Homo-oligomer: A and B are copies of this chain.
Amino acid sequence: MNTLEVAHQIVTLCRQGKNEEAHQQLYADDAVSVEAFAPNGGNRESRGLAAIKAKGAWWRDNHVIHSASVTGPWPHGDRFIVGYQYDVTFKPSGQRMMLDEVGLYTVAHGKIVREEFFYNAG
């Protein structure tokens, strides 16, 4: 798949809530995922598909998703941007919140090799 096809496919799968399938289908084995901030003093980077899947599993296990909106993609060369808005409850605290973030993705050889998340500070 070219970059635009990868971009459309991740949007399609995430709109269906198939985030695990997106990781499996679209990510390179050595992909890197970078958060804007380190959760609880942890590492901002997850290196490798196994670590990225584990981060996704933790997130799904710890949040109730009330609604989700996925926007884009916005492509540019070998990169593209996708917007995510989630209305979630964080299970450990019971706190309900709106998450508004964008992902910047880099594609090489038809696979996502890097994703970087940006959080709304508006």
For this chain, the copies found in one complex come to: 2
Main secondary structure on chain A at its contact with chain B? Answer: strand
In the assembled complex, how far is the CB of residue A117 from the closest CB belonging to chain B, in whole angstroms?
7
Stretch among A22-30, A66-74, A87-95 lining the B interface: A66-74
Give the chain B neighbours of A8 by CB distance below 8 A: 121
- Determine if B122 and A11 form an interchain contact, defined as CB atoms under 8 angstroms apart: yes
A74 to chain B, nearest CB (A): 4
Within 8 A of B (CB), among A1-54: 4, 7-8, 11, 34, 36
Residues of chain A at the chain B interface (Cβ within 8 Å):
4, 7-8, 11, 34, 36, 71-77, 79-81, 83, 100-102, 104, 116-122
